Structure 1
């Protein structure tokens, strides 16, 4: 009986690890569904400024193509 004492802890640890994976994947999928792209990890002020610039340029191109 002493050989399988680790098995008592394996089931709860497996459940906890599984739920952490489920929560992480759910967060990823919800963010991707809402924004249409994966979350940018490590987004700093430079990245935010570049995203604004890119969005502005895309809008200008779309407006020029519409004329």
Structure 2
């Protein structure tokens, strides 16, 4: 039961993060060369990484302690 609830939570968590990534892009151009090294892009990727890894880290800390 707990595994199913965790997978369900992870599914919705990843849906929210995916929609946040999609909101960062104005339009999808696969051959468009854009400078991805600006500060806003780095900050949004860093915050998205923390939010995605937060669920895993929380569960690992919960089972360790």
TM-score w.r.t. length of structure 2? 0.34
Greater share of residues in helix: 1
TM-score w.r.t. length of structure 1? 0.34
